[in-house]
Structure 1
Amino acid sequence: MTSQDSQSLDDSVLQIDIVSDVVCPWCIVGFKQLEQAIGETGVSAAIKWHPFELNPDMEEGGENLREHIMRKYGSTAEQSQAARDRLTAIGADLGFDFRFTDDMRMVNTFKAHQLIHWAGPAGKEHPLKMALFQAYFRDGKDLNDPAVLADVAESIGLDRAEALKVLEDGRYADAIRQEEAFWTQNGIQGVPAVIFERRHLITGAQGAENYASIIRQLVDGEAA
């Protein structure tokens, strides 16, 4: 599997665009399932990540995650805990460590998406995306804090000082707004949204078996 701009790929590589947010648990679950499917089918695939904000209007300090989920979806504390337990178990099976805590906060991710965009030309888009998922769900980091984001960028080999400059001057803010608008205008209202070969949209974490079946159908169709 590779992770680069799909426009630079030849026809032998399966193009997969993923619209997601780094504070969306089902986005990392869906990706890990997709990753398994890619390994199982043996295809060559290029992953391109695209921005989506679950909470574009979230206040600067964020909100307690459990309270946020209960308010947004009308769930009870018991339902919230059951969902956490289920995600933790699913994550463990996929090799991803969810560590939910009572003081975990939901935050806005506009800054994080700008940094991911910046990392693309350096070939670090995918590693940064994975590192941000871990920083939030495993380490409980505030992904709206520029210092935290710069630390994560540095951890995968990017320049920390430049990362801070990117966030300070907002040079990619307009590009992120435009891309987010493009996806919402094309019907993406929830994530993860996985687009195969720029044509076939699959929403939600579908499971490794279903992703593998989709990939095989696409490959067989192209070969026919």
Structure 2
Amino acid sequence: MVNLKIDLVSDIACPWCAVGYARLERALASLPELKIELEWHAFELNPDKNAPQEPILPALSRKYGKSEAEMRQSQAYIMEVAAELGLNFSKMQQRFTCNTFDAHRLVKWAETQGQATAMKMALFNAYFGEAADVSRHQVLLDCVAKLGLDVTTAAQILASDAYSEQVQQDIARYQHAGISSVPAFIINNKYLISGAQEPQQLAAALRQIAAQVS
């Protein structure tokens, strides 16, 4: 048995981050010889909390310099990929841009409850499956309730600045490390796998890393 620590840098607003994690799960299912410790880390695609929210297609069109039709086609492809992995992206094209800082704070809290991954997946489902505004505290608390975690405690956290420093440290640390796109998988604080690689590619990379560290 080889132990690997995976630090997964991602944003709730990033569809490829959800896909990347789902593909990681499939890769790990083929690698029973590995024991994985996974830790989620924050990244913000929309760091301005005061930026006006706007429909996702024109926002992406402007960001990438492509037409809305091209972005709609690109998003439709991601929806197909997600569906094959069992992810709910049914309202992906109906969502609005939003800041995810408070959502990241909740993930940090959920980690203390052993529920970081479950919280992350609930947030992905809310944003891409329901087109919910994951910057709104009520939406975040709905995710907490669905996981059976303490809603009162979560509300107190959101009303305070709890876990803000940890999220800010994540963002600064990985920006300083040169991470400019997500998902980013950092293995044993040494090896970097960028992007939502196919399960077979991920498995091959992890197998190669495991051989080097064993």
What is the TM-score of this pair, normalised by structure 2?
0.94
TM-superposed deviation, 1:45? 1.2
- 2:15 equivalent in structure 1: 25
Extract unaligned runs of 5+ from structure 2: none
Match of 1:5 in 2: none
1:102/1:86 Cα in 2 relative to 1: closer, same or farther (>3 Å)? closer
Amino acid aligned to 2:207: R
SS at match of 1:41: coil
Change (3 A) 1:39 1:135: same
Q: Distance in 1 between matches of 2:104 and 2:36?
A: 22
Q: Deviations over 1:23-52 (max 9, x none)?
A: 100101111111111001222212110000
Structure 1 pair 60/149, CA: closer, same or farther in 2 (3 Å)?
A: farther
Q: CA deviation at 1:203?
A: 1.1
Aligned to 2:193: 202
Residue ranges of structure 1 left out of the alignment (5+ in a row): 1-10
Please say which of residues 139-148 and 59-68 is displaced more in the overlay.
59-68
| One-letter identity of the residue aligned with 1:160 | V
Shift of 1:177: 1.1
Contact 1:33 1:94 in 2 (8 A): yes
Please name the residue that 1:125 is paired with. 116
Say if 1:101 and 1:18 are closer, same or farther in 2 by CA, change over 3 A.
closer
Alignment partner, residue 163 of structure 1: 154
Count residues in correspondence. Answer: 213
Residue 185 of structure 1 and its aligned partner are, at CA, apart by: 0.6
CA-CA distance at 1:60 after TM superposition: 5.5
- 1:8 aligns with none
Return the offset for 1:61: 4.8
Task: State, as a whole percentage, how many aligned pairs show the same letter.
Answer: 35
Counterpart CA distance in 1 for 2:141 and 2:52 is: 18
- 1:174 offset after TM fit, Å? 2.1
The runs of 4+ residues in structure 1 deviating greater than 4 Å are none
Alignment of 1:54-65 (within 5 A): 54-59=45-50, 61-65=52-56
2:59 to 61, 68, 73: 68
For 1:63-142, list aligned pairs within 5 A.
Answer: 63-100=54-91, 103-142=94-133
Match 1:211 to one of 181, 202, 206: 202
Describe the SS at the equivalent of 2:90: coil
Query: What's the TM-score once normalised by structure 1's chain length?
Result: 0.90
* Residue 99 of structure 1: how far off its partner (Å): 1.3
> Matches of 1:38 and 1:177 in 2, distance apart?
30
Letter in 2 for 1:177: Q
Question: Relative to structure 1, is the Cα distance of residues 147 and 191 closer, same or farther in structure 2, using a 3 angstrom cutoff?
Answer: same
CA–CA distance in 2 between the matches of 1:16 and 1:217? Answer: 14
CA contact (8 A) 2:2 2:210 kept: no
Name the residue aligned to 1:14.
4
> Which residue number corresponds to residue 3 of structure 1?
none
- Shift, 1:13, TM fit: 2.5
* Letter of the 1:27 counterpart: C
Contact persistence 1:154–1:160 (CA under 8 A): yes
- 1:86-107 alpha-carbon deviations (Å, 9 max, x no partner): 1011112211121136542010
Note the aligned Cα RMSD (angstroms).
Answer: 1.5
**Of 38, 43, 50, which residue of structure 2 is paired with 1:47?**
38
Tell me, in whole angstroms, the C-alpha distance in 2 between the residues paired with 1:103 and 1:96.
Answer: 16
